[in-house]
Amino acid sequence: MKRVELTESGVVFNEQDHTYNLNGKFLSGITGVLHRMLFEDEFDGIDEETLKKAAEYGTAVHKSCELFDNEWVNDNTPELTDYITLCRENDLTHEISEYTVTDGEHYASNIDKCYRTGDNTFSLADIKTYSVMNGDKLEKARWQLSIYAYLFELQNKKAKVDSLYVIHLRNKEKSNGERSVISKLIPVARIPSEICKDLLETDLRGGQFKNPYSIPDDVRQLESRIRELIAEKTKAENELDLLKSGIMKRMTDNDIRQWFTETMKITRKLPSVRSSFNLALFKQDHPDLDYSPYMKESEVSGSLLITI
């Protein structure tokens, strides 16, 4: 397969104002979308000074890693040392940093890290420097990276994103004098592109996005039991198919059509040819024909589909 080279977005990013401009039009960043749609309470109770210091520290770590990836400059900070180790241990081959992706009309954002995994496959990563990376912080990163992946593949039609990561780096003194040292590569599960697209479209029309991952706790607690039951059902069906296959062979070999027990009837159906009406092809061949008088409508009850 021919090696895919990444497409430039054409978006002009103003780092000082943190704005995205495409052909004279300002585009919305993804962080703002997530704040509006899903995480509007993210910074409640945190004072401005704390947020400012956290942002400054995060920016410094990002710049250190970017300078190394782009120019092989090692500033010997402990965070960069840990970053280099993570890349080496996990075979992360740097392709580009701060790669701008866009839908070409309304949204744009910079992806911290893009790593090449094949001729047309890539991994995306976001560097986080929080003291704790769990709960809403991890969920927000998952949404962020999933939307990045959607825009990445939209912008690069022949490329595929095969994995998403949070790179959690921190080496900073805490208020009690101890040191907070974190160096982790955290894989995150990708949210399907159709859901990411729905979120962006909802934001665009000023609606309120209904998060399909916001599940009541009592329903979420059923997940493990549902998985157990599906596994048991699959095992039983496979065993039954094996038994039926053995019985079918014996009846076929002995030319037997039916067997009876006190509680069961076993019938061997002979091979046959089934005919069915191809409505789609009929419509295609006779587009002007009114076939509605021959259509029969019937109500179908709603049902629940669970996939794992």
Residues 6 or more apart whose CB falls under 8 angstroms from that of 31 comprise 109, 144
Question: Can you give the pTM of this predicted structure?
Answer: 0.81
Residue 44 confidence (pLDDT): 74
Domains of the chain: which residue ranges?
A: 12-214, 219-272
- pLDDT for 263 beyond 90: yes
Q: Which residue has the higher pLDDT, 292 or 140?
A: 140
Q: Side chain identity at 113, as an amino acid letter? A: K
Q: Where are the beta strands (DSSP E) in 131-264?
A: 160-173, 179-188, 258-260
Distances (CA, A) of 271 to 34, 265, 274: 57, 19, 10
- pLDDT, average across residues 253-265: 94
- Per cent of the chain over pLDDT 90 is 75
CATH dotted code for 12-214: 3.90.320
Token pair belonging to 269: 């159906």
The mean pLDDT of the chain is 93
- Condensed to tens digits (0 to 9), the pLDDT of residues 25-61 reads 999 999 999 999 998 887 777 888 888 899 899 999 9
Residue 177 confidence class, pLDDT cut points 50, 70, 90: confident
